[in-house]
Amino acid sequence: MTTISHATHKAAPMRAGAGNLLREEVCLPAAVILAGALDNNIRWMQRYADKRGVSLAPHGKTTMTPWIFRQQQAAGAWAIGVGSAWQAQAAMAAGIERVLMANQLVGKANMQLVAQLKRQYPQCDFLCCVDSVSNAAALAAFFDAQGQTLDVLVELGVPGGRCGCRSTAEALALAAEVAGLPGLRLRGLELYEGVLHGDDPQPQIEALLDAAAALACDMAVYVDGEFILTGAGTVWYDVVCNVWLTARKPPRSRIVIRPGCYITHDNGIYQQAQDALRARDRIACDLGGDLSAALQLVAMVQSVPEAGLAIVNFGKRDCAFDAGLPQPVAHYRAGKALPFRPGACTSSEVMDQHCMLKLAPDSDVQVGDILIFGTSHPCLTFDKWKTLLLVDDDYNLQAELDTAF
């Protein structure tokens, strides 16, 4: 076997583009994406959007993986969502035909980058958000001087939230202002209902969505042609569809949902969110199949220094830990699966490069064993990896997927 001559990322295979993780032919730990589960998730969410009669603009900042963007677009995504000018560049360079930046564009350098992208990729439809007269005026002056028109959405927010106009009256006044500025074209209204929290945020979310639909009707006079009405992260996309599909809205409205974390789903907070969604949404249940966890961490036991404790060779530098620690879901030794009992070993603490496992008295965990970990909140695992590994169900390497963080 040809050995590694130069590792270009931290999960490098011993042979370029080939290898099996369970046979230790790839440097571990490694963040892997199960190809079958990924394809299932892409197609399930697209089927859901199609069934509801809405457009899907997956939030690409979750993965920042251009190969995945292309798979989502090929499956029918209307756009790819991003959060910054840099992310927009990564999407356009990947061949994405419409980029929805669900954020404000501020700063001359960021404006210059977008102007350059509009010249370099004239076939790409680019939209961003505005929530203030001062930002709208700055954008208008800059893009008018460039001889360009920037397409914008007014953002509606909530008191105490993040960006967005704090009232519908403020948003309507901003829409009127944008309509009168050179260099800008108003395309619709954007919000993110996920900023509303609490024991039962659904009534607040529905009230916000109702207010947004009424606002859209008032704003429509300032929009030529199709009116874009967009919201919905990975938790409340069914509620967004339910409210906006039945509300009065501009005649030529396009409802766009923007879930992101569904792409690899997880074994934690998004599994819980999807369970809750299916409990309230018959359409999701009748669609057939469901989302499944596609992102895993493959790591090795490096020490069993005392009874009841094992140390695994990954840590905070490798995985999300803000919404629950990664937990073992499978156990291998010498390439063979061992019986796995949930709860026999559990992650209790992570440091930069170490994960501490508590072992039940009858656990058989040895140095050199490979453990597969499920994760919670995929965003913060993706951004710790320059390259992720696409694998089949037997952990054979299919492709190395570069990220663009």
pLDDT tens across 189-216, in order? 999 999 998 899 999 999 999 999 999 9
pLDDT for residue 362 = 87
Residue 368 has pLDDT above 80, yes or no: yes
pLDDT for residue 380 = 94
**CATH code for the domain of 178:** 3.20.20.10
Domain match, 247 and 304 both: no
DSSP secondary structure letter of residue 193: G
The Cα–Cα gap between 262 and 270 comes to: 8
Domain match, 321 and 174 both: no
Domain match, 235 and 384 both: no
Domain match, 108 and 197 both: yes
Token pair listed for 324: 């629950």
Residue 53 lies in a domain: no
- pLDDT average, residue stretch 11-18: 89
Domain match, 316 and 218 both: no
pLDDT confidence bin for 400, thresholds 50/70/90: very high
Residue 329 has pLDDT above 90, yes or no: yes
Domain match, 248 and 328 both: no
The secondary structure element, H or E, covering residue 242 is: helix 237-246
pLDDT confidence bin for 5, thresholds 50/70/90: low
Residue 1 has pLDDT above 90, yes or no: no
Residue 2 has pLDDT above 60, yes or no: no
For residue 122, cis peptide bond before it (omega within 30 degrees of 0): no
Domain match, 208 and 75 both: yes
Residue 377 lies in a domain: yes
Asked which of 213, 233, 259 is the last residue of a domain, the reply is 259
Which structural domain, as residue segments, surrounds residue 202? 59-259
pLDDT confidence bin for 17, thresholds 50/70/90: confident
pLDDT tens across 81-116, in order? 999 999 999 999 999 999 999 999 999 999 999 999
Residue 354 lies in a domain: yes
Residue 300 lies in a domain: yes
Residue 106 lies in a domain: yes
High-pLDDT (> 90) share of the chain, %: 95
Domain match, 359 and 214 both: no
Domain match, 318 and 254 both: no
pLDDT confidence bin for 15, thresholds 50/70/90: confident
Residue 3 lies in a domain: no
Residue 119 has pLDDT above 80, yes or no: yes
> Which residues in 64-149 belong to E strands, given as ranges?
80-82, 98-104, 125-130
pLDDT for residue 3 = 63
- pLDDT average, residue stretch 29-47: 98
Q: What is the dihedral of CA 204, 205, 211, 214, to 10 degrees?
A: -150
pLDDT for residue 31 = 98
Q: Quote the crossing angle between the two packed helices 168-179 and 133-145, to the nearest 10°.
A: 20
Domain match, 110 and 234 both: yes
pLDDT confidence bin for 19, thresholds 50/70/90: very high
Domains contained in the chain, number = 2
Domain match, 146 and 234 both: yes
pLDDT confidence bin for 244, thresholds 50/70/90: very high
pLDDT tens across 372-395, in order? 999 999 999 999 999 999 999 999
Residue 286 lies in a domain: no
- pLDDT average, residue stretch 254-277: 96
- pLDDT average, residue stretch 242-252: 96
- pLDDT average, residue stretch 147-174: 97
pLDDT tens across 182-195, in order? 999 999 999 999 99
Asked which of 234, 259, 284 is the last residue of a domain, the reply is 259
Residue 265 has pLDDT above 60, yes or no: yes
Helix (H, G, I), strand (E, B) or coil at 371: strand
Q: What is the pLDDT of the chain when averaged over all its residues? A: 96
The Cα–Cα gap between 128 and 130 comes to: 7
Domain match, 103 and 175 both: yes
pLDDT higher at 373 or 18:
373
pLDDT tens across 120-131, in order? 999 999 999 999
pLDDT tens across 270-319, in order? 999 999 999 999 999 999 999 999 999 999 999 999 999 999 999 999 99
Residues 131 and 177: beta-carbon distance below 8 Å = no
**CATH code for the domain of 315:** 2.40.37.20
Asked which of 243, 259, 275 is the last residue of a domain, the reply is 259
pLDDT for residue 6 = 78
Q: What is the dihedral of CA 260, 265, 269, 270, to 10 degrees?
A: 60
For residue 361, give every residue at least 6 positions away whose Cβ sits within 8 Å of its Cβ, in sequence order, or none.
Answer: 308
Q: What is the reported pTM?
A: 0.95
Residue 120 lies in a domain: yes
